[in-house]
Amino acid sequence: MRTRITLACTECKNRNYNTTKDKKTHPERMEIRKYCKFCKTHTTHKETK
């Protein structure tokens, strides 16, 4: 079953993206480089609660 997660920018701490992931195959927290419209640059986004 896929669960919904929220990704937050590590620089400005804004929650920018919503996505889904499979907890069975990826139990650890997701970390992706994505564009932050507040920082106006590509930054690392981490999974939040």
Q: Where are the domains of the chain?
A: 2-48
Q: Name the CATH architecture for the domain at 2-48.
A: Single Sheet (2.20)
pLDDT for the residue numbered 17:
96
pLDDT for the residue numbered 22:
94
CB of 3 closer than 8 Å to CB of 45: no
pLDDT for the residue numbered 1:
87
pLDDT in single tens digits along all 49 residues of the chain = 899 999 999 999 999 999 999 999 999 999 999 999 999 999 999 999 8
List, as one string, the DSSP characters of the chain. Answer: -EEEEEEEETTT--EEEEEEEETTT--SPPEEEEEETTTTEEEEEEEE-
pLDDT for the residue numbered 6:
96
pLDDT for the residue numbered 49:
82
